[in-house]
Amino acid sequence: MPSVQSSLAKVSEAAPAPPAVDRAWAERVAHRLRGTFVAVIGKLPAGLQRATPLARGVGLNVPLCHRILSGAKSTPGPVEVFGAFPGPDGLTMFLRALEAKGLIEAGAMSDASGAVAEYAELITGSGGSQRRFLAALHGSVGSQHVGGRESRNAEESRRRLFEASVEQLGCRAEAMVGVRVYTPAKQPRGAGDLDATGAVGRLGFVRSTASMPYITMFRASAPEQLEQGESALLMEEFCTKPLPPVVMHDFVSQRVGVVDPSFERAGAMDIFAGPLTRRNIVEFDGESMFINAGTQCSSPAAELLTDVYLPAEWASGADCSAALYREDALGPVIGDPAKRWFDRLPMALLPLLLGRGLEHAKAECHPRHELLTRRVFEHAGADPAGYVGFRLHVRYPLPNMHYLCLRRSRLV
């Protein structure tokens, strides 16, 4: 009788080795696929943006439409995106149904079809079937995490951490929100130099008297904006009344705003600061230039929403990525992100491409988000029509970590 070891060896020899997955390629395809279908679905009539009416309207079955809508709403990341979307055949069937009903423009059809074709190519090179590709993708993700924890458990783990942090710190927010608009520098140091105008705030912020205070940082470099008084830093139209007192403290190159710890208010509070402008934010490294647009959760938040807008002509020739960084390292604010091996956490983040203008600026967690974005553009003196937006949207972000959207362009 063969031994257990020899039997296992035979099984191992007979079973094909799991296919390798090009992780970087999978991330790019997931980002492209999700972005193009978000744009396609966003153009549909409001009455067709739910699975059942959409299926009836275009003559497809409900499960297929449900998976496509779920894919468009999925958390950015290849495991989540490819796990939610159907395969290339189902996506192609959906696009052709929209085309037959006149519900998709030629340009959007071309973009989405190109993304689906690249998805099919990725599957072919990573196992030959969607099932084998997804299995290999889950394996590649599991191997990057201690204990092999799969990505689908990550949000649940962050939720438990969020609830524990709320209990320990005595405060919480429904969402941490940031908007940044980058404009050509008024005092440029070189080609492509930019200024940044931004606003930051919390939605549904609740705290106990003994909790951590509300703290926010202002990296404005135009002193005249701070001479109007501390109350001018609060965006009254987006804050819950009455406005709380804010005490400012200088800290190195920043000014730190602390909401008066003695300020008490029954119920949740929305509080936003800005817009403020910081000059010459581009970092140069040889022939490349970088911007690092980040939002830090200094207290527990159920969601993080941070938008970045770049001039269209500058964004078109640049690379965009996103990552999560330690709060206490210098890497996130200096130079090439590829060199920051020492402080980047092992989590894949992909920014969502919002496209040109403010057509997709609305956000479910913040009903007035588009208005807030317009307010920042007005302060920056810029027309949204000439800008391209990118978004990071994370459920249960890790506290005291920087969520950064990184943009790199080569000087010509």
Final residue before a domain boundary, out of 118, 148, 178: 148
Final residue before a domain boundary, out of 148, 183, 199: 148
Cα 205 to Cα 211: distance, rounded to the nearest angstrom? 12
Question: Looking at residue 253, what is its pLDDT?
Answer: 55
**Number of folded domains that form the chain:** 2
Question: pLDDT tens, 8-46?
Answer: 333 333 434 445 677 778 888 888 898 889 889 888 988
Cβ atoms of 385 and 352 closer than 8 Å: no
Does any domain span residue 209?
yes
In a shared domain, residues 178 and 245: yes
Cα 314 to Cα 306: distance, rounded to the nearest angstrom? 20
Question: Looking at residue 205, what is its pLDDT?
Answer: 86
Cβ atoms of 123 and 129 closer than 8 Å: yes
pLDDT above 50 (res 7):
no
Does any domain span residue 12?
no
In a shared domain, residues 117 and 182: no
HSE toward the beta carbon, residue 31, CA cutoff 13 A: 20
Question: pLDDT tens, 82-129?
Answer: 888 888 888 999 999 999 999 998 888 988 998 899 888 888 877 677
Most confident segment among 14-28, 243-257, 301-315: 301-315
Tokens for 342? 């020492």
Final residue before a domain boundary, out of 148, 181, 208: 148
Residue type, position 301, single letter: A
Give the torsion through C-alpha atoms of 220, 223, 227, 231, to 10 deg: 0
pLDDT band of residue 344 (cuts 50, 70, 90) is low
In a shared domain, residues 194 and 110: no
Cα 352 to Cα 131: distance, rounded to the nearest angstrom? 25
pTM, two decimal places? 0.61
pLDDT above 80 (res 309):
yes
Listed in sequence order, the residues at least 6 apart from 68 whose beta carbon sits closer than 8 Å to its beta carbon are: 37, 41, 85, 86, 90, 91, 94
Question: Looking at residue 191, what is its pLDDT?
Answer: 64
pLDDT above 50 (res 288):
yes
pLDDT above 60 (res 362):
yes
Cα 233 to Cα 222: distance, rounded to the nearest angstrom? 13
Question: pLDDT tens, 182-219?
Answer: 888 887 776 667 888 889 888 988 877 666 666 665 55
Lowest mean pLDDT, pick from 156-160, 206-210, 284-288, 404-408: 284-288
Question: Looking at residue 148, what is its pLDDT?
Answer: 36
In a shared domain, residues 279 and 200: yes
Identify the domain containing residue 208 by its residue range. Answer: 168-410
Residue 157 vs residue 180, higher pLDDT:
180
Lowest mean pLDDT, pick from 49-63, 210-224, 279-293: 210-224
Tokens for 360? 């997709």
In a shared domain, residues 224 and 327: yes
In a shared domain, residues 132 and 177: no
Residue 248 vs residue 39, higher pLDDT:
39
pLDDT above 70 (res 300):
yes
Does any domain span residue 342?
yes
Give me the phi and psi of 183, to 5 degrees please: -120, 155
In a shared domain, residues 67 and 174: no
In a shared domain, residues 143 and 196: no
Does any domain span residue 2?
no
In a shared domain, residues 128 and 246: no
In a shared domain, residues 110 and 144: yes
Residue type, position 68, single letter: I
Does any domain span residue 160?
no
Q: Bridge partners of 353?
A: 390
Question: pLDDT tens, 128-176?
Answer: 777 778 777 766 544 343 333 444 567 788 888 888 888 888 888 899 9
Q: How large a percentage of the chain has pLDDT more than 90?
A: 11
pLDDT above 70 (res 289):
no
Question: Looking at residue 376, what is its pLDDT?
Answer: 94
Does any domain span residue 16?
no
Does any domain span residue 66?
yes
Cα 92 to Cα 124: distance, rounded to the nearest angstrom? 16
- Looking at every residue in the chain, the average pLDDT score rounds to 75
Lowest mean pLDDT, pick from 145-159, 265-279, 348-362: 145-159
In a shared domain, residues 179 and 137: no
* 335-358: average pLDDT: 69
Does any domain span residue 15?
no
**What CATH number did the domain enclosing 242 receive?**
2.60.40
Determine if residue 355 is left, alpha or beta; phi over 0 gives left, psi from -120 to 50 gives alpha, anything else beta.
left
pLDDT above 60 (res 335):
no
Cα 112 to Cα 38: distance, rounded to the nearest angstrom? 10
In a shared domain, residues 174 and 312: yes
